[in-house]
Amino acid sequence: MIRNPLGLRLDPSRPIREQIQQAARLGARGVVLEASGDLAPHRLGETGRRDLRHQLRSVEVALVAMALPTRRAFDTTDQLDDRVRRADAVFALAFELGTRLVLANVGPVPAEDDAPRRETFLGALGSLANRADHRGVRLAIETGNEPPATLLAFLDGLAHPGLAASIDPPNLLRAGVDPVAAATELRAWVAHAYAGDPIGGTFVARNPRGVGFPPGALDWEEYVGALEEIAYHGFLTVWPEPPADPARQFQAVADRVARIS
């Protein structure tokens, strides 16, 4: 029995109100919003925040998480203090809008033999974790192209309640990493999960599930089963990838989930 409600990550370049209404029509129970453009903390004033909360309530759609836009990894000191402060503002915004989760691509964990970058990364993530916890949210690190064991060792080492992990099957599959193994390995750290197959881009690595699984194909039954096994009952978020139509992608995932429920 599938216990995970479906969510939809919205496109920050399109009108948010229209997308919230579309998400509700499609059957999404929640949305992920990126804190950029009109939804950036410095641009979304008190009235805008109140209106956004009203929009979500009016169509009975939850705010699954806020996404922190990042252009660079947190392993460099270049404008680091400013980037950490901007993240802190997103943490505060997320809490005010009603979610306790912020998603971010923070970059890969630097290798132990790269002491300067690793020290910067550890310091930055420690600071972000403290700020997130102080604001009443968790920062969920999006899985990228590194082995889940690397992220697990980092999270276990820091052992901070302000940090978590977000499983992204398309990203993992492109890197030849098994999302099923990632979910199982990261276990209690998993606070958010996407659902979908890679669509955009021209290169997809050999499927890590082995023979019988074409490149880019998620083993849906095993993936959802792994989430059930680790007692993750949060949202399965669809993050539409161009050039596919968001409504069609969401419906495709909904159909796949329904077939294994």
Residue 199 has pLDDT above 80, yes or no: no
Residue 3 burial (CB count, 10 A): 13
Residue 132 has pLDDT above 70, yes or no: yes
pLDDT digits (tens, 9 = 90+) for 200-210: 665 567 788 88
pLDDT digits (tens, 9 = 90+) for 218-239: 999 999 999 999 999 999 999 9
Q: What is the mean pLDDT of the chain?
A: 93
The DSSP symbol for 114 reads -
Greatest Cα-to-Cα distance within the chain, rounded to the nearest angstrom: 55
Mean pLDDT of 135-143: 98
- Residue 48 confidence (pLDDT): 97
CA distance 141 to 254: 25
pLDDT digits (tens, 9 = 90+) for 55-94: 999 999 999 999 999 989 999 999 999 999 999 999 999 9
Look at 205 and 241; give whichever has higher pLDDT: 241
- Residue 213 confidence (pLDDT): 76
pLDDT digits (tens, 9 = 90+) for 173-185: 988 899 999 999 9
Whole-prediction pTM value?
A: 0.94
Residue with tokens 């410095």: 42
Percent of the chain with pLDDT over 70: 97
Mean pLDDT of 117-139: 97
Tell me how far CA of residue 154 lies from CA of 109, 116, 120, 132, 176, in angstroms: 7, 16, 14, 17, 21
pLDDT grade for 2, boundaries at 50, 70 and 90: low
- Residue 203 confidence (pLDDT): 59
Identify the CA nearest to 217 among candidates 190, 189, 252. Answer: 252
**Radius of gyration of the chain from Cα atoms?**
18
- Residue 158 confidence (pLDDT): 96
- Residue 44 confidence (pLDDT): 97
CB 235 within 8 A of CB 5: yes
